[in-house]
Amino acid sequence: MNQPYTLFYMDISYYSGKIQSYLRYKGVPTQEQHVNWWMMANHILPNTGMMEVPILQSPEGEWLRDSTSLIFHLEKQFPEGGVIPEDPYQAFFNYLVEDYADEWLWRPAMHYRWSYAKDRRLYERRFTEDFMLHPIGTKIFTRLFLGWRQRREYVGKDGGTKDTRKHIEDTYLDTLDRMESILQERDFLFGNKPSIADFGFMASMYRHFSLDPTPARIMRDRAPAVYAWVARMWNAKQENYNQENWAASAGKLPTDWEPLLDHIGKTYLPYMAANADALLAGKKVFDLSIEGVLYKNLPTTRYRVWCLEKLMTYYKGLPDKSRQAIQETLVKHGCREHLWAYRDLKSNLHDGDILPHCTAFPLPLWKRLVYYVTGTPRHDNNGINH
C-alpha cells in the first residue's frame, strides 16, 4: 500500500474533482497526472476503452474507472475513516443521494459552463491551451469548434433549450437552498464528517459551480455556507474526523434531508424511470415532463439504468427490517413507485467486466483518429465515464 496510485485527471473535469477530494480525504498515496488529448488517445483509450477521465491506475498496474465504483473499491482497501454509514438504512439513502448528486446536477453544470458566453469563452481557451497539444487548425478555430461541440453535445442533446433553461437553472438554485439549510447547521451533509453523499455533490459543486464564473457568483451570494463547504471538503483529512458522528442515530435520517428526498421523488427518479422505460423499449431518445416542464429528445443512457439496477440490487440484499424501514421512507417522499417498478431490472451493462476494473480495448488507427477529433461517443453502451 506504500506504492502510489496514479490518477489521470483534468482540473476542469466534473468527476475528477469528486475523486480527487476523496483520495485526499482518505490519504490514499496518489501521484496525479494531468492529461492532454494525445495522452487520452494513445494511452488511456487502448487501456480503458474510453477517452475520458478520471482514470486511476493501481500500483499493480490495474486500470480503474467510474468514480462511485472507485470509492466502493477503495473503501475496502483503505477502511480507516469510512465514508459509508454502517447502518444499512442510512447507507441506502446515502447511495440514493450520491447518485442523484452525480447524475441530476450534470445538466445544470453543463448548462452554466457552455450556455453563458463568459463561461464558455473561458473554457474554450482552457481546453485549447491546457488540453490540445495539436490544435485543429488555428487556436481560434479550435476554441470555437470545442465550444460548439461541447454546447451541442452536453447542452442541446441533453434537453437544454430556451423552454427548459429556467427549470435547469432552478435545479441549481433550489439545490443550493437545500444544501445551505443543512450546512448552516453542521459541517457536512450527513454529519460532522464527510459521507459518500458529500463526495457525490463535490462532482458538480467543486469543479463547476464553485469555479465557473456565473454559478460561482450565484453560490457566493446565495449560499455562502455551501461555498465554505466546498473548501472544507477539499481540505478535509479523515484522521481529523475519526471521533465525529453522523447527524442521526442508526435507522434514522437527519430531518433536514426531507426536502432533498422530496425533490428526488419529484424529479430525479421519474427521469430515471422514464430512461429505463426508453431503454427497454429500444428507444434512443424520449420525452419527459418534469415539474410541468417538457424535455424533448432526452438521450437514453444505459449507464443510468445500471445505476438504478445497482441501487435495487443493494436493497434486495438487506435484512427484512431494513427493507421495511426503507420502503416506508420512500413512500413518504414519493420515491417508491419509481424504484419498485424496476426492482428486477437488467441493464446488461458491464457484463464483461466488473467496475471499477477496465478491460483493454485495442482500436484500429482509423477509429483512434475519429475519437481524436470527436471524443468517445457519450451515449454508447459504456455510458458516461464517471
Place of cell 498496474: 61
Extract the C-alpha cell encoding 29: 498515496
Model pTM greater than 0.75? Answer: yes
- Give the per-residue pLDDT at 76: 95
Residues in the chain, pLDDT under 50: 378-385
- Give the per-residue pLDDT at 340: 85
- Give the per-residue pLDDT at 385: 43
CATH fold, domain 1-80+350-386, is Glutaredoxin (3.40.30)
73-80 contacts, C-beta under 8 A, 24 or more apart: 73/356, 74/22, 74/23, 74/26, 74/28, 77/1, 77/28, 78/1, 78/26, 78/27, 78/28, 80/26, 80/238, 80/242
- Give the per-residue pLDDT at 355: 84
DSSP assignments along 186-255, one per residue: SSSSSBSS--HHHHHHHHHIIIIITTSHHHHHHHHHH-HHHHHHHHHHHH--GGGSTT--BSS-TT---G
- Give the per-residue pLDDT at 135: 60
For helices 302-316 and 320-332, the axis angle rounded to 10 degrees is 130
- Give the per-residue pLDDT at 80: 95
Q: Which residues of 212-221 are buried (b: 16+ CB within 10 A; e: fewer)?
A: bebbbebbee
- Give the per-residue pLDDT at 380: 45
- As a whole number of Å, the end-to-end CA separation of the chain is 24
Domain locations in the chain?
1-80+350-386, 85-348
Asked if residues 218 and 173 have their Cβ atoms less than 8 Å apart, the reply is: yes
Extract the C-alpha cell encoding 259: 426536502
